[in-house]
Amino acid sequence: MKRLRSITAAAAMAMTIGFAAPVAAKDIMLLNVSYDPTRELYKEFNQYFSESWKANTGDRVTIRMSHGGSGKQARSVIDGLEADVVTLALEADINAIAEKTGKIATNWREQLPNNSAPYTSTIVFLVRKGNPKGIFDWADLVRDGVEVITPNPKTSGGARWNFLAAWAWAEHTYNGDDAKVRTYVSDLFAHVPVLDTGARGATTTFVRRGIGDVLLAWENEAFLALEELGPDSFEIVAPSISIKAEPPVAMVEGNAEAKGTSALARAYLDALYSAEGQRLAAKHYYRPYKPDLADKEDMKRFSDLTLVTVDDFGGWKKAQPDFFGDGGIFDQIYTPGH
């Protein structure tokens, strides 16, 4: 219902601007503050969007991108970076902007379909060609002699999904025995020789430096790494249980209103849900919200997985402080002597 309304609103807006277009075509700039792995996706999506916006309204839109670690990007927006839209890795990061600046409505998750996540992803394993260590599921990660590469959940959004996915598997396997779950996760991190600060750094450590036997990565990152860095040297393994990672998007109303770009920003986010937006997401290895809008060939790449969601952990508002806050479970795992 809400979605329908926002689309009508955008269409109406587009039409009024469209009628005005012959009078004066405008140059407008839109700033999308995003996280690292979305570069390739938005490069193509921005081009599509500005062309279609020009065709519809006659206005030239320049979309500026800012990429970086999700938390760092959120902090920049809080400190005054004038993003019109944010497309980040974690709901918690957008919540932080909403809470600390009031520039995003607190009910932002309800303003767009699928909890404001036009595309999702999950966590998979990237292993070396032929899977020499025989790594097929989470249990294999803590075997002797297996080295696991993951970024630091404290500094990387992707790593938090890794952590929760491992936790979900352990909880399922040990029937919720908290002590055993903690031992497993703590064991897992004892197998991590390098904790990079970001997802891309971890990929580089695994792929270029040849460190570790398995990389825990976003599915889209794993595919991209495969494509860009060596389809002959690596393969993707899907574990029995993983987590549905929802990288959300939101309009920063406070900034967009001040700049007069609200309609544009709204249309931009809506276009992510359009047929072309969904097709591009799938092309760039994200799982589209509406799979039927994507190319069949692209969809074949995604294997079926049992996916838990962050809501099984009580949502990000609870999971963030419990697991990754100061003194949270992740901090408890790293105690002296480990």
Partner 1 sequence: MTDHAIMLRSALTETPTVQRWLIAVALLFLAFFLFLPLFAVFSEAFRNGVGAWWEAIIEPDALAAIRLTLLVAAISVPLNMVFGIAAAWAIAKFEFRGKAFLITLIDLPFSVSPVISGLVYVLLFGSGSLLGPWLKSYGIEILFAVPGIVLATIFVTFPFVARELIPVMQDQGTSDEEAALSLGASGWQTFRHVTLPNIRWGLLYGVLLCNARAMGEFGAVSVVSGHIRGLTDTMPLHIEILYNEYNFAAAFAVASLLVGLALVTLVLKTAIELRFAD
Partner 2 sequence: MTAAVSSSRWRFREPGVIPGFGLTFGFAVCYLSLVILIPLSGLVWRSSTLGWQDFWSLASDPRTLSALKVSFGSALLAALINSVFGLVVAWVLVRYRFPGRRIVDAVVDLPFALPTAVAGIALATLYAPNGIIGAQLAGLGFKVAFTPAGIVVALVFVGLPFIVRTVQPVLADVDREVEEAAATLGASRLKIVVRVLLPGLLPAILTGFAMALARGIGEYGSVIFIAGNIPYFSEIAPLLIVIRLEEFNYAAATAVGVVMLSISFLMLLLINLIQSWSRRRYGS
Under rule CB under 8 A, residue 229 binds partner 2: no
- Region 91-110 residues binding partner 2, contact defined as CB under 8 A: 96, 100
Which of 245, 218, 247, 239 shows the shortest CA–CA distance to 305? 239
Q: 68 or 113, CB closer to partner 1?
A: 68
Rounded distance between C-alpha atoms, residue 114 and residue 76, angstroms: 26
Under rule CB under 8 A, residue 31 binds partner 1: yes
Least distance (Å) from partner 2 to the CB of residue 322?
13
Under rule CB under 8 A, residue 64 binds partner 1: yes
At 93, the amino acid letter reads: D
Q: Assess contact for 133 and 146: CB atoms under 8 A.
A: yes
Under rule CB under 8 A, residue 146 binds partner 2: no
Q: Assess contact for 205 and 103: CB atoms under 8 A.
A: no
Q: 115 or 197, CB closer to partner 1?
A: 197
Site string for partner 2, 296-325 (x = CB under 8 A): ----------------------------xx
Which of 68, 74, 5 shows the shortest CA–CA distance to 252? 74
Q: 100 or 283, CB closer to partner 1?
A: 100
Figure out which of the listed residues 5, 296, 300, 338 binds partner 2, where binding follows CB under 8 A. 338
Torsion, Cα 324 325 330 332, to 10 degrees, reads -170
Under rule CB under 8 A, residue 225 binds partner 1: yes
Under rule CB under 8 A, residue 66 binds partner 1: yes
Under rule CB under 8 A, residue 194 binds partner 1: no
Task: Kindly report the number of other CB atoms within 10 A of residue 203's CB atom.
Answer: 26
3-class DSSP state of 305: coil
Under rule CB under 8 A, residue 194 binds partner 2: yes
3-class DSSP state of 150: strand
Figure out which of the listed residues 59, 84, 196, 270 binds partner 2, where binding follows CB under 8 A. 196
Least distance (Å) from partner 2 to the CB of residue 74?
8
Under rule CB under 8 A, residue 202 binds partner 1: no
Long-range contacts for 144-148 (Cβ within 8 Å, ≥24 apart)? 146/191, 146/213, 146/214, 147/191, 147/192, 147/193, 147/211, 147/212, 147/213, 147/214, 148/188, 148/191, 148/192, 148/212, 148/213, 148/214, 148/215, 148/216
Figure out which of the listed residues 5, 24, 80, 144 binds partner 1, where binding follows CB under 8 A. 80
Figure out which of the listed residues 85, 224, 280, 308 binds partner 1, where binding follows CB under 8 A. 224
Q: 54 or 75, CB closer to partner 1?
A: 75
The 3 state secondary structure assigned to 89-120 is CCHHHHHHHHHHHCCCCCCHHHCCHHHHCCEE
Figure out which of the listed residues 52, 82, 262, 279 binds partner 1, where binding follows CB under 8 A. 82
At 112, the amino acid letter reads: L
3-class DSSP state of 72: helix
3-class DSSP state of 241: strand
Site for partner 2, rule CB under 8 A: 69, 71-72, 74-75, 78, 96, 100, 152, 154-155, 192-197, 201, 208-211, 324-326, 331, 334, 336, 338
Binding site for partner 1 (CB under 8 A): 31, 36, 39-40, 64-68, 73, 76, 78-82, 100-101, 198, 200, 204, 224-225, 228-229
